[in-house]
Structure 1
Amino acid sequence: MSATWTVGLIFVSLVVVKLADALSRHPLLLIVSFDGFRHDFFMKRATPGLDRFKSDGTHAPYVRNVFPTKTFPNHHSIATGLFPESHGVLGNEVYDPTVNEVVTFGPGLYNTQGITPIWTLNQLAAQDRYSGVMMWPGGGFSYRGTMPKFHYAWNISTSWETRVDLVMEWFEHTTTPANLVMLYFEEPDISAHAFGPESVQVLDYIGKVDNITTYLHHCLTDKNLLDKVNVVLLSDHGMATVTPQRIYNLTQYVNKAYFEIVDSSPVLQIRPSKGCCTVLVTVISFLFLVTSTAMLGVHGYDNNEPSMHPFFIASGPLVKRRHRVQPFDTVDYYTLFSSMLGVTPEPNNGTYANVRGVLKNPRARK
C-alpha cells in the first residue's frame, strides 16, 4: 500500500509540473469584451461575478470611447490605440469611393497596411509569444504579414462556455501556449437594440454576462491560473433608449430611388443618387414626424454622451487591488496592454499616463 501511494504521489507531481511547463514564460493577458455593456449597467441588478473581479483589482467609473460609438471602430481602437481616422475603420460599414461600393465587414473595411493590433505586436516581440483571437472584430486578418496563432471566427452559435473553454486551452497549449487572448461576446448589445437598454431582456443578459464571468473565474481557479493571468473586462460602447418621438423615417418623405443608406442611425450615412443632393438636403432640414411606436436601443451618438460610455475592470498579478482610476480613453488601452505584456507599443493616439495607475509596478514610458 505504501508503494502504491508513492507511485500516485509521483504521478500527481508530474502532472502539476507538466501543466506549469505548458504556460508561456511571458506575462499572460486575457482581454474580454461584452458588446454594448454600458458603464452603469452594474446599477440595474446584482453582478457578483463582475464585482469579484472589480474588488480584486482596479476599475474606472467609465471609459471615453471613440466616435462613432459603434462596435467595429471602437474594438479596433481598443486593439490598436488609434482613432478611427488613423486605423481606417470609420463605421460598421462605409461607402468607399475608390471602389464605388458600400464596404461591410471584411478586408475592404479593415485596411491592414501600417496597422499593428496588440495581438500582432505581441507575436512580433518574440518567437515564443503567441496570441489568440476569439471572435474579436478585425482579428481574422493579416497585419504586417502575421496572423494570430489561434483564431476562432465569428459564430453566434458557439456557446459562451465553449468560448471560455477554448480560450483556456489556448493558454495551456502544450507546444505553443498563448500569452495574450482577446475574447468577444455579442451581448447585451443585441438585446438592447431590439428591446431598449431599460428592458427586462437586457436585465436578463446582464445576469448572463455576470454568469459567464463567474464561469471564467471558476475556470481560472480550477486550473491554478487565477494568480497568473491578468484579466481585463471591458466594453466598446453604451446604449441609449430611443423613444418614438426621436425616430424619423426618411423613406416616408423621400423616394428611395433618390439615395442609398450606407450605415444605420443615428449617424446616418447617405449617398445621394446623381442629381438628388439638393432634394435630400431640403428634406433633412425639416423635422420629421413620428413613424414608429417601437422602443429601441441605439448607439453611435456623440462620445461625450454618458449613455455611450463603456466600462473597465482589470484584475491579476500585475494589477492594483481594490483600486479605482479616473476615466480614461479607449485609445489608452493599447499602452496599458503593451505595458502588461512587456512589449514596446507602435506609435498610437493613447496616453500611457492615463492608465499607468492601473498597475502595481508600471513600466517607465512616456
Structure 2
Amino acid sequence: MKFLFRLLASSLLLVVAGCAQAPVPRAAMPASHVPLLLISIDGYRHDYLDRGLSPTLAALAKDGVRADGMQPSFPSLTFPNHYTLVTGLRPDHHGIVHNTMEDPALGHFALKDRAAVSDGRWWAEATPLWETADRAGLKTATMFWPGTEADIHGMHPDHWRPYDGGVTPDQRVDRVLAWLDLPAGQRPTFLTLYFDAVDHAGHDHGPDSAQVNQALRDTDEALGRLIAGLRRRGLLDRMNLIVLADHGMADVPVGHTVVLDDLLPLDRVDRVTTGVLAGFNPKAGHEADFAAIEARMEQPQQHMQCWDKTRVPARLAYGRNPRVPQLLCLADVGWTITTRHYLARHPNDHMRGEHGYDNADPHMQALFVAHGPAFERGVRHAVFPNVDVYPLMAHLLGVTPAANDGDYDAVKDMLVPAAR
C-alpha cells in the first residue's frame, strides 16, 4: 500500500524549535517517496534524555514518539545489537554473538580487527535491511554501522564509509546531508548515521560523569546540525527519523572485579572473552576435564553467574549458535570479569562504565525516539524489544522483510492510522 504524508512546514519548525504548537494532522504520502534515516547514539541510556542536555532530541520526542525504554538483545553489546536492529534477529540467530568471538572455520573476530570486521562471511547468517532495500530497487547509504564494511552476500550499501573514529560528528552529519543532495537516481531512501562519543565517555568516566553530560550536549548539537540541514532542504517534514541506541550503561566502581584465576584452571581452557560476559571453550587435550570445570563454575558464585551454553536461561535467547562459547559467565551489574595477568599488565585500565549485562536490567535499556510523517505526535510508548525495530522499518520502506524475530503488530501503534 502507498501512503501520502503532508505536514505544514511552519508548524513543524516551531515544534522542533521547542515552541508550543497544536498538533497538525498528518496525511498520507507514497511510502516509496519517504526517506528513512536510522540514527544510533551508541550507549545512550534511555533516561539520559531526562537530564535536559539534549534539547534537539527532546523536541523530536515531544513532536513524535518516545519509548520508555528499548530492551536490547542479549548480550547487551555494541556489534550484536547494531546487527539486531537492521536484521530483526537476536544475536544467537544472526551470528554476531559478541564483540569478540571465534568460529571454527573463520578464526577470531574482534571489534578492532579490520580484516575480520570486513569479512562478509561473519555477517552472512542474516540479511541486513540495506541489502533488502537494495534488492527492492531502493538506494541506501550508511555513515558507519557494524556490518556495512563487509561484502555481505555480495553486496554493500550503495554509499558507505569504513569506520573512522576521527571523523567528527559534524562531518558525519554533513556526509549524510550530501547523500540527500544527490540526483534522484542516486539519492538514498534508507540511510544510517552513527555517533559514539556518549558510549566512549560512559566507558571511560562512568554514566553519571561530567564527561558523559558533555558528550550528550555535543551529540545533540550535531543532531541539531542535521535537523537544520534537513529543514533547509525542505526534508524535515518529508522523511522519517528513528533515533535510538544499542544499549545503556552501568557504573562500575573501582575494585568490582571478579578474578578468574581464583575460580578455574586457566591453563585448561581457551578463554574467548572476558569483561562483562566471559566465555570459555575446552582446551585441546583437556576436553575430559571440562565437564568438571563447568560443574564447579555453575555453582553459586559471588558477583557472577555461569552456565553451560545449553543451560542459559531461555529468556536470554542465547546459546545455540556455534560461535557461543561452551561455558559462559555473566557478571552482576556493576562488576566485570578478568584475570590476574590482565590486571598486572593494565593496572590503570579500569572502565568506569560497562554494558553487556542482563538485558532486562534497567541500566541496559536504550533510547528510542521516532519522528516524521509516519509517526504519531506526542506519544509515549511502553518498553519494547529492539527486534521490533526491523519490521517497523521494513514497513516504512515498503519492502518485504526477511525472516526475523520481531513483531510489527507490537509497534504499529506508533504510526498514524493511515501509515499502519
* TM-score, structure 1 normalization: 0.84
- For the structure 1 residues 53 and 281, does the alpha-carbon distance in structure 2 shift closer, same or farther, using more than 3 Å as the test? same
CA contact (8 A) 1:88 1:110 kept: no
- 1:314 equivalent among 356, 359, 370: 370
After superposition, the C-alpha distances for 1:227-260 in whole angstroms (9 at most, x for unaligned) are 1121110000001111235312325777764544
Q: Does 1:325 align with 2:331?
A: no
Q: Does 1:356 align with 2:418?
A: no
Alignment correspondent of 2:250: 240
- For the structure 1 residues 241 and 71, does the alpha-carbon distance in structure 2 shift closer, same or farther, using more than 3 Å as the test? same
In 1, the alpha carbon distance for the partners of 2:206 and 2:123 equals 34
- For the structure 1 residues 112 and 298, does the alpha-carbon distance in structure 2 shift closer, same or farther, using more than 3 Å as the test? closer
- For the structure 1 residues 121 and 311, does the alpha-carbon distance in structure 2 shift closer, same or farther, using more than 3 Å as the test? same
Alignment correspondent of 2:143: 134
Which residue type is aligned with residue 46 of structure 2?
A: H
CA contact (8 A) 1:29 1:181 kept: yes
Q: Does 1:149 align with 2:158?
A: yes
After superposition, the C-alpha distances for 1:147-203 in whole angstroms (9 at most, x for unaligned) are 210001100011111111110111221240011101111121111111111111111
Q: Secondary structure at the match of 2:141?
A: strand
Q: Tell me the CA shift for residue 44 of structure 1.
A: 2.9
Which residue type is aligned with residue 241 of structure 1?
A: D
- 1:72 equivalent among 67, 70, 79: 79
- For the structure 1 residues 196 and 146, does the alpha-carbon distance in structure 2 shift closer, same or farther, using more than 3 Å as the test? same
- For the structure 1 residues 191 and 153, does the alpha-carbon distance in structure 2 shift closer, same or farther, using more than 3 Å as the test? same
Q: Secondary structure at the match of 1:133?
A: strand
Alignment correspondent of 2:104: 97
After superposition, the C-alpha distances for 1:103-127 in whole angstroms (9 at most, x for unaligned) are 224255863435221111111112x
After superposition, the C-alpha distances for 1:51-87 in whole angstroms (9 at most, x for unaligned) are 1111121111101110000001100110000111111
Count matched residues: 338
Q: Does 1:210 align with 2:220?
A: yes
Which residue type is aligned with residue 155 of structure 1?
A: D
Map residues 214-363 of structure 1 onto 2, 5 A cutoff: 214-244=224-254, 246-251=256-261, 257-274=267-284, 275=286, 277=290, 287=302, 294=350, 296-361=352-417
In 2, the alpha carbon distance for the partners of 1:295 and 1:146 equals 37
Q: Secondary structure at the match of 1:51?
A: helix
Q: Does 1:117 align with 2:123?
A: no
Q: Secondary structure at the match of 1:40?
A: helix
Alignment correspondent of 1:176: 186
- 1:44 equivalent among 45, 51, 63: 51
**What are structure 1's unaligned runs of at least 5 residues?**
1-23
In 2, the alpha carbon distance for the partners of 1:264 and 1:358 equals 39
- For the structure 1 residues 297 and 272, does the alpha-carbon distance in structure 2 shift closer, same or farther, using more than 3 Å as the test? farther
- 2:36 equivalent among 29, 33, 37: 29
- For the structure 1 residues 249 and 108, does the alpha-carbon distance in structure 2 shift closer, same or farther, using more than 3 Å as the test? farther
Q: Secondary structure at the match of 2:197?
A: coil
**What are structure 2's unaligned runs of at least 5 residues?**
1-30, 112-116, 304-336
* TM-score, structure 2 normalization: 0.74
In 2, the alpha carbon distance for the partners of 1:282 and 1:114 equals 34
Which residue type is aligned with residue 232 of structure 2?
A: D
Q: Tell me the CA shift for residue 325 of structure 1.
A: 1.8
CA contact (8 A) 2:36 2:239 kept: yes
In 2, the alpha carbon distance for the partners of 1:231 and 1:251 equals 48
> Which range is displaced more, 42-51 or 334-343?
42-51
In 1, the alpha carbon distance for the partners of 2:391 and 2:36 equals 14
After superposition, the C-alpha distances for 1:205-232 in whole angstroms (9 at most, x for unaligned) are 1111221111111111122211112111
Alignment correspondent of 2:15: none
CA RMSD of aligned residues (A): 2.7
Percent same amino acid among aligned pairs? 30
Alignment correspondent of 1:11: none
Q: Does 1:164 align with 2:164?
A: no
Q: Secondary structure at the match of 2:46?
A: coil
Q: Secondary structure at the match of 2:191?
A: strand
CA contact (8 A) 2:93 2:125 kept: no
CA contact (8 A) 1:130 1:177 kept: yes
In 1, the alpha carbon distance for the partners of 2:271 and 2:195 equals 28
In 1, the alpha carbon distance for the partners of 2:371 and 2:416 equals 11
Alignment correspondent of 2:200: 190
In 2, the alpha carbon distance for the partners of 1:144 and 1:284 equals 39
